[in-house]
Structure 1
Amino acid sequence: MKLKLAALIAACCVLPPAVAADAGYAIRLMTPETALKAALAGQAACRKAGFQVAIAVVDRTGQVQVVLRDRFAGMHTPEAAVDKAWTAASFKMDTTALAKATGAATASSGIRQMSRVLAVGGGMLVEAGGAPYGAIGVSGAPSGENDDMCARAAIDAVIDDLNL
């Protein structure tokens, strides 16, 4: 019995003590000015390519920061852009990749039935310095690839600012 007690005491002395979890945490968010800069850059890229789109920027929790709708973009595009951005932020992945991962023949296809999930191209996660800042959603270009191109331009316009 004394040997077992001695072994238990020795184990307690060499094992690291349990660390209490922090009571709070810090997150990174884009400023409204940064979100607007991204949206304007994405809109400019789409205009240059001849596309009239809506662009949405959400923070990492999916809260809308900016929505821009070009004058001839379809009526559905602001809502679709917000939902694409929300989807990318929620699943922490670009919507083109989510579309592939949740196709009809996949075990995850049911995700597409959730409200607000829009698993088509045009939603991209904004990450810098290893931290998610939010997401960009673009809707209205002739394809998801074109929406992605405009979203990428939006991210490229602010990534250096976020990496500082």
Structure 2
Amino acid sequence: MTGTHATSCISADGARVVVDAALAAAADLGVAVVVWVLDPGGNDVAMTRMDGSPLLSRQVAADKAWTAVAFGQETTWWSELLTAQPPLSALGRGNRLMPVPGGVPLVVAGAVVGGVGVSGATSEQDHAIARAAAQALTEMGNR
């Protein structure tokens, strides 16, 4: 985390750590995904599409990252909330809210510095990959 927003915004180097960890986790699972990293303002920092990942996964990964950073919650939080309160599902129509697993806020030293979204595999695999990516950044930031 370098630059003027060192404690509040993911750096390009941090985004590379996230992407590399996600790609390694996806390779371990034998799946092809898209990985999208946003800063706290929802701005693109990095995106990688693995060969063979579904075309639609590009937008889904971006929206998962946006949902995670916009609310500071894993997208599984929304999945659980919408299961408990089905009328809220209308919130997901026509905007970027992506209430399915695979989006995780990126946290360093207790601060949300961005979000990562992963799409292309099963929901469970997307979520596991996103968590592994977020964990790699947390561990880098805590060194």
TM-score of the superposed pair, with normalisation by structure 2? 0.88
Q: Does the 8 Å contact 1:38/1:154 carry over to 2? A: yes
Q: How does 1:117-128 map to 2 (within 5 A)?
A: 117-128=97-108
Give the superposed CA RMSD.
2.0
- Deviation above 3 Å: which 4+ runs of structure 1? 103-107
- Aligned equivalent of 2:95: 115
Counterpart selection for 1:153 from 124, 132, 140: 132
Counterpart selection for 1:76 from 56, 63, 70: 56
- Aligned equivalent of 2:44: 64
1:63 positional shift: 0.9
1:135 positional shift: 0.7
User: CA 1:26–1:160 in structure 2 vs 1: closer, same or farther (change >3 Å)?
Assistant: closer
Paired AA for residue 23 in structure 2:
Q
Query: What is the CA–CA distance in structure 2 between the aligned matches of 1:104 and 1:113, rounded to whole Å?
Result: 18
1:83 positional shift: 0.6
Q: How does 1:49-60 map to 2 (within 5 A)?
A: 49-60=29-40
Q: Higher relative CO (CA 8 A, sep ≥ 6), structure 1 or 2?
A: 2
- Aligned equivalent of 1:16: none
Write the deviation string for residues 76-133 of structure 1: whole angstroms up to 9, x where unpaired.
1111111100011112111111111123843533321241111101000111222111
Paired AA for residue 41 in structure 1:
A
Write the deviation string for residues 17-76 of structure 1: whole angstroms up to 9, x where unpaired.
xxxxxxxx9961111111012111101111111100000011111111100000110111
- Aligned equivalent of 1:48: 28
Counterpart selection for 1:97 from 67, 73, 77: 77
**How many residues get paired?**
139
Paired AA for residue 78 in structure 1:
R
Q: Does the 8 Å contact 1:102/1:112 carry over to 2? A: no
Q: Does the 8 Å contact 2:108/2:137 carry over to 1? A: no
Larger radius of gyration, structure 1 or 2?
1
Paired AA for residue 135 in structure 1:
G
Q: Does the 8 Å contact 2:106/2:137 carry over to 1? A: no
Q: Aligned with 1:103: secondary structure?
A: helix
Paired AA for residue 57 in structure 1:
V
Are residue 133 (structure 1) and residue 87 (structure 2) matched? no
Q: Aligned with 1:75: secondary structure?
A: coil
- Aligned equivalent of 1:20: none
